[in-house]
Amino acid sequence: MTMLKEIFTIDPSTSDVHPSFLLHGQPNFRDLGGYKNVDNKKVKTGLVYRSGQLNDLNQQDILLLEQLELHTIVDFRSTQEIASKKNQIPPTVKNIIELSIDPGNLSYSNIEKMIQQGDTAASEQFLMDINQQLVLDNQNQYKAFFELLNKSSNMPLSFNCTAGKDRTGFAAALFLSALNVNIELIYTDYLQTNKRVESYVKKLIDTYNLKDPQQIQVVQNLMSVKKSYLQSAFQTIEQHYDSVENYLKQVLQVDTHYLQKIYLED
C-alpha cells in the first residue's frame, strides 16, 4: 500500500457544511462567531474564521471569500507544506502571515507506517503529543496570532493549517477561551471537524481498499479529531501553567479584556 502525499487534501463533494460558507475546495472553513460565553454574550460573526488549507478553491469559493471581505490569512502550516500547496486567495486579502509550525514527526513515511501496522495506540498518542507540543513549543506562533487579533485593521481574518484540525483547532480553542466561552462549547466547535471531513475519510479508506479494522481506525484517528486530543493540550497547560487563563495572560501575553471588547456583542 502506498499512501499519496495528497492524504491531507479534503474532497468536499459530499461534505455537510453550512450553506453560507460552502467552500467546495475546503469544507472545514467556518465562522467562529455565534457562540455565547459564560456571561451570555455572543461572539461576533464575520470577523474570525477557521479553516484548512485553501489551495483547492475554485472561482466560486474565491468569490465567496471576496464577498466576506476576507482581509488577512494566517497560515500555521510548515514551510514545506506551504511551498507544496499554495493557498489561493481573493483580491480582498492584503495580509498573508506565515506562522509556521512543524507538528511532531509529521512525515508521510511515519503516517504510512502507522497505517500499515494498524497501530491505533500510536496514532492516538501521536495526536496527543502534537497537542502537547503546541502548548510548550509553539508559544511564539500563538502569541503572534493573538497580536494579529488585537488589530481591527486585520479583520476579517482566517487562520488555517493543513486539515484545519490540530494547529488550527488549538488556536480556535485558545481564542474562544480568551472570550470566556464555555469549555463544552469549545469542544463542540473542535469536534465539528469530524462531520466536515467525514466524506473524505471514507473516500480515503475506499481508495486504498482498507479492510483491516485497525488500519481503518488509524486513518480515522489521524484524519479526524477526538476530545482527548484537545484535552491533552488543556491538561498540559494546567500541568505547567495552572490554568488556560494564566497561559493566555502570562505566557502569550493576551489582554483578554481587550479581546472581549472587540469580539463580543454588547
Per-residue pLDDT, averaged over 186-212, amounts to 90
CA angle at 166 for the pair 164 and 167, rounded to the nearest 5°: 85
What confidence tens digit (pLDDT) does each residue in 17-27 have? 344 467 899 99
Residue 1 has pLDDT above 60, yes or no: no
Residue matched to cell numbers 484535552: 231
What confidence tens digit (pLDDT) does each residue in 185-194 have? 999 999 999 9
Which DSSP string do the residues of 72-134 spell out, in sequence order?
A: EEEE-S-HHHHHHSPPP--TT--EEEE-----SS--HHHHHHHHHHT-HHHHHHHHHHHHHHH
Q: What is the pLDDT of residue 103?
A: 79
Per-residue pLDDT, averaged over 186-209, amounts to 90
Q: What is the pLDDT of residue 105?
A: 62
Residue 2 has pLDDT above 50, yes or no: no
Give 107's pLDDT tier (boundaries 50, 70, 90): low
Strand partners, 31: 49
Amino acid at 132: Q
What confidence tens digit (pLDDT) does each residue in 11-50 have? 333 333 344 467 899 999 999 999 999 999 999 999 999 9
Residue 218 has pLDDT above 60, yes or no: yes
